Amino acid sequence: MFESPGSYRVIDHPTGLPLLFVLGKDNVLRCFHNVCRHRAYPVASTRRIGKTPLLTCGYHGWTYNLEGKLIKAPKFEGVEGFHKDQNSLFQVSIKIDSDGLVFVDLSKPVDLHDAMEAKWFGGGQTVTWEVEGKFNWKVAGKNLP
């Protein structure tokens, strides 16, 4: 699913929050809230699965690297009091177990100034939900027509 840097997938968390998973150039999988820091427009909005070298908001063109750091903010360059390093994407804490399952912890934001590698979290909550339909476990996470 995440075969090379820039591979991404957008999912809707059971809480209703749109999450963006993207593989960085350092081969670390990261998770972000799929909202631009400028006007809360999605940074991955045209396709739910794909590959991109950069994450770009289609509203005003704010651009983030694959680690979630703001690298371009049109019309904000040189504005007094504006700091790119304070407008990175909101990262979500994840843990990948030995079977490749990804665990998401929405209760603990990740500070981009800390280590960029996903960290294990404790005291979390398991969320389950039921979906009715004709499918097996291999397609449960896919969008069906």
Closest by CA to 114, choosing from 137, 91, 142, 98, is 91
Averaged confidence pLDDT in the chain:
79
Domain boundaries, given as residue ranges, for the chain: 7-110
More confident residue, 7 or 14: 7
Strand order in the sheet with 102-110: 49-51, 7-12, 18-23, 29-33, 91-96, 102-110
pLDDT of residue 145: 46
Nearest-angstrom CA–CA distance, 133 and 3: 29
Nearest-angstrom CA–CA distance, 45 and 24: 19
pLDDT at 124 over 90: no
pLDDT at 120 over 80: no
Cβ-based burial of 17 (10 A; exposed 0-12, middle 13-18, buried ≥19): middle
CATH number belonging to the domain at 7-110, selected among 1.10.540.10, 1.20.1530.20, 1.10.10.10, 2.102.10.10: 2.102.10.10
pLDDT of residue 15: 77
**Alpha-carbon separation of residue 37 from 32, 59, 72 (angstroms):** 11, 11, 12
The pLDDT confidence band at residue 38, using thresholds 50, 70 and 90, is: confident
Nearest-angstrom CA–CA distance, 3 and 69: 22
